Amino acid sequence: MKYPNFREEKKLWRKGYKRVVGLDEAGRGPLAGPVVAAVVMIKNNRQEISKKSITLGVRDSKKITPKKREELYKILTSHSQIEWATGRASEKVVDRINVLEATKLAMKRAVKNLERKIKKQADFLILDGRIKLDLDISQKSIIKADNRVFSCAAASIIAKVRRDRLMKRHDKKYPQYGFISHKGYGTKKHMAALSGLGPCKIHRKSFKPVIRCS
């Protein structure tokens, strides 16, 4: 099994970029709830995160269990050589500007939150997929970066855990929809509740399955 590595980060460090940031998001596909983005920066390229961190199972969040994601989240967010931040765009923003633009907005907010935290501007952004951000920062988009680039894989885990926690809180407000189990994705259980009850406040009113149940 191949795990994400530091190859991309190392290439950029060698070119003189000191603050290399990996990005990923969670929540583009669900019918309810926000999009959450996360950014991860390795603080010191001369004192790399040990390979043990990789063998612990840091990889694309979709390929690991919720329990494992929580374990890795704790390791990543408390690691002395990692800086990280998150940003989000609400379901209302998704409806207003569309989910792609909302994803970009969440990512830009995450970058800005990191920069406020470290009190410096990011030098280079590595993005998962084909997304480009209208920021005055050098950047590179890589297909399946969350499978290949350590900082993007770590960001995918942080984004997913943070979004899942938000959806668990929403479940307490709207328990009849079962958000605690499906996190807003269009499962059979969710669609049955949506058909019977109609959408609630956090549903994305611009998404076709939600429109049909309105």
Sign of the dihedral defined by the CA atoms of residues 50, 15, 41, 142, in that order: negative
What would the mean pLDDT of 135-162 be, rounded to a whole number?
94
Q: Report how far apart, in Å, the C-alpha atoms of 19 and of each of 3, 43, 120 are.
A: 22, 7, 9
Q: Is the pLDDT of residue 43 over 60?
A: yes
Instruction: Calculate ∠ Cα 89-189-173, nearest 5°.
Output: 50
| Homologous superfamily of 7-167 | Ribonuclease H-like superfamily/Ribonuclease H (3.30.420.10)
β-pairing, 82-89 with 20-26?
unpaired
pLDDT class for 62, splitting at 50, 70, 90?
Answer: confident
pLDDT class for 55, splitting at 50, 70, 90?
Answer: very low
Q: Report how far apart, in Å, the C-alpha atoms of 192 and of each of 31, 49, 150 are.
A: 13, 46, 38
Q: Which residue ranges make up each domain of the chain?
A: 7-167
What would the mean pLDDT of 154-158 be, rounded to a whole number?
94
Q: For residue 89, count CB atoms less than 10 angstroms from its CB and return exposed for 0-12, middle for 13-18, buried for 19 or more.
A: buried
What are the start-end ranges of the H helices in the chain? Answer: 7-14, 51-55, 66-78, 91-97, 99-118, 145-148, 150-173, 179-182, 188-197, 208-212
What would the mean pLDDT of 176-200 be, rounded to a whole number?
96
Q: What is the pLDDT of residues 5-15, one digit of tens each?
A: 888 998 999 99
Q: Is the pLDDT of residue 58 over 90?
A: no
What pLDDT was estimated at residue 193? 95
What counts of helices (H) and strands (E) characterise the chain? Answer: 10, 5
Buried b / exposed e over 136-168, threshold 16 CB at 10 Å, is eeebeebeebbbbbbbbbbbbbbbbbbbbebbe
What pTM was estimated for this model as a whole? 0.93
Q: What is the pLDDT of residues 82-117, one digit of tens each?
A: 999 999 999 999 999 999 999 999 999 999 999 999
Q: What is the DSSP-derived secondary structure letter of residue 157?
A: H
pLDDT class for 27, splitting at 50, 70, 90?
Answer: very high
Rounded CA gap, 209 and 187, in Å? 11
Q: For residue 54, count CB atoms less than 10 angstroms from its CB and return exposed for 0-12, middle for 13-18, buried for 19 or more.
A: middle
pLDDT class for 79, splitting at 50, 70, 90?
Answer: confident
Q: Is the pLDDT of residue 18 over 60?
A: yes
What pLDDT was estimated at residue 74? 93
- Alpha carbon of residue 108 to chain centroid: 12
